[in-house]
Amino acid sequence: MVSLGCPKALVDSERILTRLRADGYAMSPDYEGADVVLVNTCGFLDSAKEESLDAIGEAIAENGRVIVTGCMGDEAELIRQRHPGVLAITGAHQYEDVVEAVHKAAPPSQGPFIDLVPQPSDEMVKLTPRHYSYLKISEGCNHSCAFCIIPDLRGKLASRRVDAVLREAEKLVAAGTKELLVISQDTSAYGVDIRHEERMWKGHPVRAHMTDLARELGQLRTPQGETPWVRLHYVYPYPHVDAVIPLMAEGLITPYLDIPFQHASPKVLKAMKRPANEAKVLERLTKWREICPDIAIRSSFVVGFPGETEADFEYLLEWLQEARLDRVGAFRFEPVEGAQANALPDHVPEEVKEERFARVMELTEQISAAKLAAKVGRTIPVIIDEVGEPDEDGDIGATGRSQADAPEIDGAVYLRSVPADLQPGDFVDVEVEESDAHDLFGAIRS
């Protein structure tokens, strides 16, 4: 399987592979040994579509028998135009259709005797390291942002039952997960579509609501009695998000919020069809930091949106200077087929987008460097991701992450002289010795 795009698509890949394994299939580590190749595509931006089409082409060249699924599944005509040899095309989270297509392309029968043996079906196939897992709580989105086509690709908000989410989280933690990454298209809206229905969990009712879910996830414990990290992603800053901050201060939830602000200029936010309450957000950030001083805020911003003037962009820079977010990603606006923003007037020239992108990244890098430098001399909790081999002097290094760092999108903590028995997934207390613009360096406190 080739899985492209966001963590939500990765969870789809895990579910597809789990169902296929229950039917007796095994994963191949390479193209050559595979009877069929699955490509889970991303269709969020035109550049992502091009990457998906290239991946399909590579799979056809290397193997020849390719099934396409994922967000580009709605553009079957485009895919077949570029790659007429694909065996089947299905849309996002259409698990049954994918499995059926695999059955047709590579029938699962292994012989009359083996077919009588029940195949494992309860355990989830994981595509992430054993110590962290994505926990998808809903699918789809009710927003109609001008630059986005996700509701067209994945539909309106569809929340999972809260007891089903908690049961999956409990199983993951029991199986070795030390960090749960809660994901959806809009985590703050969890349960709105099912009227925040209650379900019984551990003898008491729990609502399908972000705050209730966060509180219950904070009660989970690993087999060793540790509190797993619970990291909230894609959190829109609705008022009820304020209720989650005390849970972070209590140590139940990881002090980290991933909030897609996208811009700060009221005019641009209105054109994007997003809430334009940037001043109130700054007040709330101040209050959040008073309640939980260690809270880390990550966000992403779009530069060069149609109609964005130099004054709008300067407004964004001033807002970022005041907000002092811990982690920032920026994207140059890219027209996507089907997005409302394409029809807006005053598109920003590419060279201006590039210049603004560079300025945003320069400012946010300076802010990041200053915030990380303030951690030098402190002792912080770190989860280990990778342990290296001993060097010529016998010293072993390791790479981990602080509570301010989500895997693969934020920074890292690089450790020197770690013990030989250190394992990925271990929690350690690290004394920070140095920092740069993105990462920390230190040693385990003895």
Residue 386 placed within a domain: yes
Question: Could you tell me which residues come within 8 angstroms of residue 99 by beta carbon, excluding any fewer than 6 positions away?
Answer: 16, 19, 20, 23
* Distance between first and last Cα of the chain: 43
pLDDT at 390 > cutoff 60: yes
Q: Which of 12, 16, 38 is nearest to 139 (CA)?
A: 12
What is the rounded CA–CA span in Å between residue 190 and residue 184?
8
Q: How far is CA 350 from the centre of its chain?
A: 28
Q: What angle do CA 87, 90, 94 make, to 5 degrees?
A: 135
8 A C-beta contact, residue 197 and residue 246: no
Residues 41 and 141 in one domain: no
pLDDT, average across residues 105-122: 56
> Residue 64's domain spans which residues?
2-116
Q: 34: left (phi > 0), else alpha (psi -120 to 50), else beta?
A: beta
pLDDT at 164: 95
217 and 87 within one domain: no
* Least confident range of 4-13, 160-169, 249-258, 281-290: 4-13
DSSP 8-class letter at 224? T
For residues 77 and 144, state if they share a domain. Answer: no
Do 95 and 163 belong to one domain? no
Report the sign of the C-alpha dihedral through residues 373, 379, 380, 382, in that order. Answer: positive
Q: Dump pLDDT digits (tens) for 228-274.
A: 999 999 999 889 999 999 999 999 999 999 999 999 999 999 999 88
Which tens digit of pLDDT belongs to each residue from 44-85? 778 888 999 999 999 999 999 999 999 888 888 999 999 999
Q: Is the same domain home to 392 and 253? A: no
Q: Give the global pTM.
A: 0.82
Do 261 and 408 reside in the same domain of the chain?
Answer: no
> Sorting pLDDT into bands at 50, 70 and 90, what band is 152?
confident
Residues 48 and 177 in one domain: no
Cα–Cα separations (whole angstroms), residue 19 to 12, 22, 34, 99, 120: 11, 5, 17, 7, 10
The phi and psi torsions of 181 (rounded to 5 degrees) equal -105, 105
